[in-house]
Amino acid sequence: MKTHTLYLREDLAQAWRNKAIFPWLQTMPGEIFRDKEGRRTLRFEVEQHSYFLKYHQGVGWEEIFKNLLSLRLPIISARNEWQAVQFLQSHHLDTMTLAGYGEKGWNPAKRHSFVITDDLTDTMSLEYLGQQWRQTPPSFKSKYDLIQKLAHIAGTMHKNGMNHRDFYLCHFLLDKSFAETNVYQPSMPIYLIDLHRAQIRKKVPLRWQIKDLGSLYFSAYAVPLTQRDLFRFIKTYTQLPLRQALSQYADLWQQVKQRADKLYAE
């Protein structure tokens, strides 16, 4: 079993060529976004270039067992995230750009790992899409193209064996000019982020497919969507004629709606 992995892109390899990487990253200064439960998330700069670091330093057996007893899979390494980034890139979906990653130690409770990505500057989250579109309705084309894009991302991801587990609009980023122009074009990238809980296998189990789609639908409840908008999403997601997509996957869409309603009621 391989117990040590280390990759640094040339820019960071040169900047840190004389450093012991794991000890350096474990206490590296920067703008802290999270520092608890064995994980530090921060923004830092090297040579005027901005990066994000997620450093995992072992959650301990108590936290692992607590998650397992709650029927949750514990996050014990940054490996999930860098493999999910590589997966999305291999399927031509926009996401973060890897600048470094590493892992050491065989004990899952004490394993140290990290992932470094380029900072996605000048972007905005789709979390506020509902508020934006209620204040300034989009053109038909922009609305159509954005729905098509999100459906393509979800469909490609699920079809090829990955589920996100935090599949909400807040984890999609696009150019911040969208807030001002309200115009979306198919050529504009939408970056899927926060991949530390992602799962990759040959086929996504139905329950995780429902959870992803239900979470996305729930997070879009504030967005002024019509029945036709939902049908467009379904058609693109399944890559089937609408009538077939609705009949063949009737149970799926019913359970997705139930999942979204449950989240809304909580």
CA distances from 93 to 96, 110, 162, 181, 193 (A): 10, 33, 12, 24, 11
Active site residues: 166
Half-sphere exposure of 196 (CA within 13 A, CB side): 19
- 238/247 Cα distance (integer angstroms): 12
Q: What is the DSSP string of 60-123?
A: HHHHHHHHHHTT------THHHHHHHHHHHHTT--B--EEEEEEE-S-TTT-EEEEEEE---SE
Element holding 5 (H helix, E strand): strand 4-8
Amino acid residing at 124 = M
- Going by C-beta distance under 8 Å and a sequence separation of 6 or more, which residues neighbour residue 3? 104, 105, 106
CA angle 76, 21, 44 (to 5 degrees): 85
SS (H, E, C) 192-238: ECCCCCCEECCCCCHHHHHHHHHHHHHHCCCCCCCHHHHHHHHHHHH
| Pairwise CA distance, residues 149 & 253, whole Å | 19
How far is CA 251 from its chain centroid? 26
